[in-house]
A and B are shown apart, each in its own frame.
Chain A
Amino acid sequence: SQTIHQWPATLVQPVGSPLSLECTVEGTSNPNLYWYRQAAGRGLQLLFYSVGIGQISSEVPQNLSASRPQDRQFILSSKKLLLSDSGFYLCAWSRYSSTDTQYFGPGTRLTVL
């Protein structure tokens, strides 16, 4: 069976500090991978998605970046966090295409102070 991991679960960071969130998927190969951000009480905003190693599509211009160094690893980064980066970050994967069923990780709650 497939499993998706995200860490850390919660993170409190000062403004201007760097960020690195990691997501890994087990039990499948060549998944499509996604990073979403969810503001309190709001829907999901797609930040990045990847259809293969080194292939990243950015949906929203911001001070965040994503990388996929390995087939089942997806990393969300920032060099300098802003207050507006606070939110709930979700990683997800899908099997065949980016409009198929998506399977979500447990999320990371990021608070920027």
Chain B
Amino acid sequence: SQQGEEDPQALSIQEGENATMNCSYKTSINNLQWYRQNSGRGLVHLILIRSNEREKHSGRLRVTLDTSKKSSSLLITASRAADTASYFCATDQGYSTLTFGKGTMLLVSP
């Protein structure tokens, strides 16, 4: 598959715990993006990390990028029930448009 692939497919944690999701891709990229989708809604952009960056933060989100391993991780710290959603990575991988992975479904229980 040419898509980014998220791992795990599903993750269930308790409020206050940290959630880590991973994304792997096949070819070289210019940037990698993470999106969130609440059930039945459109996707919302969370963060973009460029190929020359190794780590980026936004609030409780931390994204890392390892271009040598062709992988990225999204860490959500001190999770809340409102973080329950599906999370997708998207890459350009040299194509003219973004390719999205199949997503990780995160369930945060109160």
Binding site for B on A (CB under 8 A): 34, 41-44, 46, 49, 57, 59, 88, 90, 92, 98-99, 101-107, 109
Contact in complex: B45, A103 (CB < 8 Å):
yes
Majority DSSP secondary structure for residues of B touching A: loop
Can you name the residue of chain B whose Cβ is closest to the Cβ of A91? B42
Interface flags, B28-59, vs A, CB<8A=1, else 0: 00110100000011111100100000000000
Cα–Cα distance between A104 and B46 once the two chains are bound (Å)? 12
Interface residues of B in 46-99 (CB under 8 A from A): 48, 88, 90, 92, 95-99
CB distance from B21 to the nearest CB of A (A): 14
Chain A residues with CB under 8 A of B41: 106-107
CB distance from B47 to the nearest CB of A (A): 10
Majority DSSP secondary structure for residues of A touching B: strand
Most interface-central of B33, B41, B98, B101 (chain A CB within 10 A):
B98
Contact in complex: B42, A106 (CB < 8 Å):
yes
Cα–Cα distance between A30 and B101 once the two chains are bound (Å)? 27
Contact in complex: A46, B97 (CB < 8 Å):
yes
- Please tell me the size bucket of the interface on B: 20 to 34
Cα–Cα distance between A101 and B97 once the two chains are bound (Å)? 11
B22 at the interface (CB under 8 A from A): no
Most interface-central of B90, B97, B103 (chain A CB within 10 A):
B97
Chain B residues with CB under 8 A of A99: 30-31, 92, 95-98
Chain B residues with CB under 8 A of A49: 97
Contact in complex: B40, A107 (CB < 8 Å):
yes
Contact in complex: A43, B97 (CB < 8 Å):
no
Contact in complex: B44, A43 (CB < 8 Å):
no
Cα–Cα distance between A103 and B3 once the two chains are bound (Å)? 20
Contact in complex: A43, B45 (CB < 8 Å):
no
Can you name the residue of chain A whose Cβ is closest to the Cβ of B30? A99
